[in-house]
Amino acid sequence: MDDIVILCHDDIEILSDPKVFTHLIKEKLSNPETGFIGVAGTRIFSESAVWWDLKLWQAGAHSGCAFHGKSITDMDSSFYGKYGQVIVMDGIFIAATIRTLRKIQIKKPRAFIGNWDFYDIFYTFQTHLKNLKNYTVPIQIRHESVGELAGRESWHQNRSAFLNIFGKHLPMQVK
C-alpha cells in the first residue's frame, strides 16, 4: 500500500481506539478508487462552495461527525449525517495516499492569497472531478475550536478564487 498522508487541524485529538483508527484508514485507502477519507463532508456541493451550508445540512446532504470542545468532559457533538461518499470534505481531518496526491494539483494556486484557506475543498473537489471517491468514516475526533475561519478575509478571497477555477462544475451531487 502507498504511504498515507494525513492533513488535519493542529487543535484536534483523535479519540478513536488506535486499532480502529488504523483499520478504518487502511481499509478505505487501500481501494485505488478512493480519493480522500475524512470525518465531515457533503454529498451535495452548491454554487456557494460552502460545504457546511446550513440549508443543505437541514436537507440531509452532509455526512460525518466531529466533537467540539476544550476537553473531553466539555464537548458537543456535531453530527452531520450518515457516513459515506461525499464530494468535498472539511479539512479538520482528511487523509489520502501518495498515489492520490500525485493525481491532483497540491501546490497552492497563485489566485489563492494569504493563509491556505480552502485547501480541503480544493484537494477533495479535484479528486471527485477525477472520478475518485471521497468518504467520511467514523473516526472520532475532538476539535478544540468550532471552525470560525469563514470570518477571515483570505477565506472569502480563496472561496472566490476556487469558484473562478471550478464554478462551472457546480452544483454537483454524489450519484
Contact assessment for residue 90 and residue 8, using Cβ atoms and an 8 Å cutoff: no
User: Is the model's pLDDT at 56 over the cut of 90?
Assistant: yes
Residue with cell 471552525: 147
73 CB burial (10 A radius; 0-12, 13-18, 19+) = exposed
Q: Dump pLDDT digits (tens) for 3-21.
A: 999 999 999 999 999 999 9
Helix (H) / strand (E) element for 172: namely strand 172-173
User: Is the model's pLDDT at 159 over the cut of 70?
Assistant: yes
Domain-wise residue ranges, the chain: 4-173
CATH architecture of 4-173: Alpha-Beta Complex (3.90)
153: Cβ contacts below 8 Å, ≥ 6 apart? 114
Give the pTM: 0.93
Q: Give the Å distances, CA to CA, from 127 to 74, 121, 145.
A: 36, 10, 27
Categorize the per-residue pLDDT at 155 as very low, low, confident or very high, splitting at 50, 70 and 90. Answer: confident
User: Is the model's pLDDT at 129 over the cut of 80?
Assistant: yes
Cα–Cα distance measured from residue 106 to residue 98, given in angstroms and rounded to the nearest whole number: 11
